[in-house]
């Protein structure tokens, strides 16, 4: 695995590569993109599903990140289905575009952040359309969604996504970055699949991803894993996958 930001080999073919990175590095790159699009303006940032929960031990505080990066000049709005810490407006991202604008105002956003939310929405297609519609020209969306994660009904758990699935949801955006990240507390490890230094978004990257994601255990190892579980589990499969999130950065064209 190559270090983050490595350039493609000179004079070589545009080969498929797995590039090691981190969520911290990728978010800094996202903020660089946003800053480059602003000029001297302060950014207007929306977080979808902003309510802070006690269980969110490994969830980033985007309000704080935006404040630190933009010197407190960023105008941050957090929305959620329910009132709570870090929530400025109670509004459903799957509602009508008119209801969103009535709550958020007519001014569009430079950045929309949606992390660990889409899998819980009743209508991710409408949520994606609404987020696209809230962007300024040249504005960015950052989406992180579960690809492999245990069932977690907060308030319900409905969907799982691949990178190409997110691309279909956010079809009106130019996808400028994509990466995979883990879910363990305190472990900031991620990777990108690239070709010629750009995100590989075609189905041919699937062969690489399949080999990296899949862990197959033999019968004895399978029994040992099940025996270590805190509660009784049914041995319905001999294939295990860790918690993985797919992440995309899209830009309004």
Q: Is residue 231 part of a domain?
A: no
pLDDT digits (tens, 9 = 90+) for 129-141: 999 999 999 999 9
Token pair listed for 51: 């309510």
Q: Is residue 59 part of a domain?
A: yes
Q: Is residue 1 part of a domain?
A: no
Q: Give the C-alpha separation, 249 to 113, whole Å.
A: 10
pLDDT digits (tens, 9 = 90+) for 147-184: 888 788 888 988 999 999 999 999 999 999 999 998 76
Q: Does residue 39 have a pLDDT over 90?
A: no
User: Regarding predicted confidence, which is higher, 14 or 80?
Assistant: 80
Q: Is residue 112 part of a domain?
A: yes
Q: Is residue 120 part of a domain?
A: yes
pLDDT at 208: 72
Q: Is residue 205 part of a domain?
A: no
Residue 67 belongs to a domain with what CATH number?
Answer: 3.40.50.150
pLDDT, mean of residues 42-62: 83
CA distance from start to end of the chain: 32
Q: Which domain, by its residues, includes 50? A: 16-192+242-252
Mention every residue, 6+ apart, whose C-beta is less than 8 A from residue 66: 43, 45, 74, 76, 111
Question: What's the length of the chain?
Answer: 253
Q: Is residue 129 part of a domain?
A: yes
Q: Is residue 246 part of a domain?
A: yes
How many domains, in total, are found in the chain?
Answer: 1
CB 222 within 8 A of CB 238: yes
**Cα 115 to chain centroid, rounded:** 5
């Amino acid at each position: 695995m190559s270090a983050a930001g490595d350039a493609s080999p000179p004079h070589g073919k545009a080969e498929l590569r797995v590039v090691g990175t981190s969520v911290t590095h990728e978010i800094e790159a996202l903020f660089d993109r946003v800053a480059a699009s602003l000029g001297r303006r302060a950014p207007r940032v929306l977080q979808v599903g902003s309510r802070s929960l006690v269980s969110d031990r490994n969830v980033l505080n985007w309000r704080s990140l935006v404040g630190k990066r933009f010197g407190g000049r960023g105008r941050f709005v957090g929305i959620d289905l329910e009132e709570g810490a870090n929530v400025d407006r109670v509004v459903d991202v799957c509602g009508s575009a008119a209801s969103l604008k009535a709550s958020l105002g007519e001014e569009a956003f430079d950045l929309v952040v949606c992390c660990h939310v889409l899998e819980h929405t009743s209508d991710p297609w409408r949520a994606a359309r609404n987020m696209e519609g809230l962007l300024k020209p040249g504005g960015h969306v950052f989406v992180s969604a579960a690809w492999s994660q245990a069932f977690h009904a907060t308030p319900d758990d409905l969907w799982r996504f691949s990178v190409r699935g997110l691309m279909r949801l956010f079809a009106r955006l130019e996808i400028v970055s994509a990466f995979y990240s883990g879910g363990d507390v305190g472990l900031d490890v991620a990777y990108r699949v690239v070709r010629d230094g750009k995100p590989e978004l075609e189905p041919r990257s699937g062969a690489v991803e399949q080999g990296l994601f899949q862990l197959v255990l033999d019968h004895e190892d399978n029994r040992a894993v099940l025996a270590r579980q805190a509660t009784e589990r049914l041995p319905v499969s001999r294939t295990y996958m860790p918690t993985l999130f797919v992440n995309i950065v899209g830009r309004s064209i």
